[in-house]
Structure formats: C-alpha cells, structure tokens
Amino acid sequence: MKKLRKVLPKSLRNALSFYFEFLVSPKQAFLDINKKTLEDVVHDYLFLLLCFGILAGVSSIVINLAKAIYVNFFLHATVQYFRMLNYTIGRGVTTTFFFIFAGTFLLFVATIIILFFIRGIKYTEICKIAMGSMAPAIFFGWLQISPIVFVVWSTVLIIIGINEQKKNRKIRRDSIENRD
C-alpha cells in the first residue's frame, strides 16, 4: 500500500479514499459529503470517472485481444489481426466515451428525475448524493459484467443518502429551534 502512495498522485488518492468510503460505510460517507463543497465532490467524481473510464476502455481492448488470441491458438481459427485490432480499439474507445457519457449526462438526467420526487432537499445536495452513489459503478464498471448489479447498488445508496440527508436536515432545524 505504501508503494501505491508513492506512485499515485495525491488528488487521485484523496478521491479514491473519499469514494471508497461509500462502499464500506455509506451512512458515514453521506454525513461526510455534507462537509465538502459541490465543487470538490464534482472534481473528485469527474477525476475518478475519467480514470476509470480509460481503465474500462483499456480492459475492453485487453479482453477482446485475449479472446482473439485464444481463438487463434487453441481453437485453430484464422484471425485477421488488423481487422480485429481495428474493431477492438474502436470498441475500447466507445466504452470509454460511454462510461463518461453515462457518468455525466445520464447522471444529470437522473438527478432531475429524482428532484421531482424528493422535496425538502436542495438540488446541489441531490447532485452530491447521486455522485457519491455512483461509487459502485465507478469502481467496478470496468469489469465488463452486467451493469444491473451496479444500478441496483447505486439506487440503494441513493435511498440511503436521501434518508441521511433528511435526518441531518431535521437535526439542524431542531438545533436552530432549540436555540431560540
């Protein structure tokens, strides 16, 4: 772990530790997210989204290249490597851009839809909750498995985050009323 600290930039280490908390202890992470500004949360989120989007593209290329090599050597099928490489690189780039598209535009649309159903929480707080809830998809989305698991996991995290935000708002309102 100490070797990773030397290799990874400080901003990446901070973003990884902040978003990893959503996987380990979501309630505490949603309490900690209130201490960060929207700009900090967006910065960390987009930084991780870009890094893991590139990782998703590279993993797509490696997996498809490994499949082609397997088919060529073990199944004795003829593989046209230049065409396969063209297809594989195109698919990897497409995967990277879809990862980024889904993490930005589709998240923006989802937060607007959530805003229609949730009252009493500011839009900026919903955005922070949604970005924190995307941690499973960011960390594990590059594995090339069914995204339904991550959608369900992120939905559960959004529900936990909204509930924690509502509890936090009640406490803040009560403490203001008690002072008067």
pLDDT tens for 167-178 read 877 665 555 555
Asked if residue 130 belongs to a domain, the reply is: yes
Asked if residue 180 belongs to a domain, the reply is: no
Q: What is the reported pLDDT for 144?
A: 78
Asked if residue 161 belongs to a domain, the reply is: yes
Of the candidates 99, 120, 107, 89, the one whose C-alpha atom is nearest the C-alpha of residue 154 is 107
The boundaries of the domain holding residue 128 are 11-18+28-171
Asked if residue 178 belongs to a domain, the reply is: no
Which tokens is 124 given?
């900026």
pTM for this prediction: 0.83
Asked if residue 6 belongs to a domain, the reply is: no
Asked if residue 124 belongs to a domain, the reply is: yes
- CA–chain centroid gap for 26, Å, is 14
Asked if residue 126 belongs to a domain, the reply is: yes
Poorest-pLDDT segment among 5-19, 24-38, 63-77, 135-149: 5-19
Q: What is the count of structural domains for the chain?
A: 1
Asked if residue 5 belongs to a domain, the reply is: no
pLDDT tens for 8-26 read 788 888 888 889 999 999 9
